Amino acid sequence: MTKDTVKAKVMTNWNHPNCKFLPGLHAIVNEDVNADWNSKRRQSFEGRRGRVFAVSSPDGKRIRGDQTRMYTTYYLEFKDGEVCGFDACQLDYPADDKGYYDFGLID
């Protein structure tokens, strides 16, 4: 999948303070992606770093619906241009040994 082939309703520009990630930040796919309900393709990204470029949206205007439970899916773009969506719980901030955000290159 690439940026142009994402079929979900997404937002590419947001700044809500309750969001785990903002556009342009890097995220690392953690071991939670290995849950049996995830596809092998999605699981293959474990440990890789990507750049957050979009977030799921029920209507293209808000990140969450009105009084409905909705899991937040963040879409990451990787070095080769491949894109995949992950639940917020499957992503971690890249951090250095002191716990600070670690700027680096995407995988």
Instruction: Summarize pLDDT for 15-55 with one digit per residue, the tens.
Output: 888 888 999 999 999 999 999 999 999 999 999 999 999 99
Query: 3-92, which class in CATH?
Result: mainly beta
Average pLDDT over residues 48-74: 80
46 class by beta-carbon count within 10 Å (0-12 exposed, 13-18 middle, 19+ buried): middle
Structural domain boundaries in the chain: 3-92
User: Given this model, what pLDDT does residue 69 score?
Assistant: 57
Determine if the pTM surpasses 0.75.
yes
- Antiparallel, parallel or unpaired: β 26-29 and 83-87: unpaired
Q: How far apart are CA 103 and CA 42, in angstroms?
A: 24
User: Given this model, what pLDDT does residue 26 score?
Assistant: 95
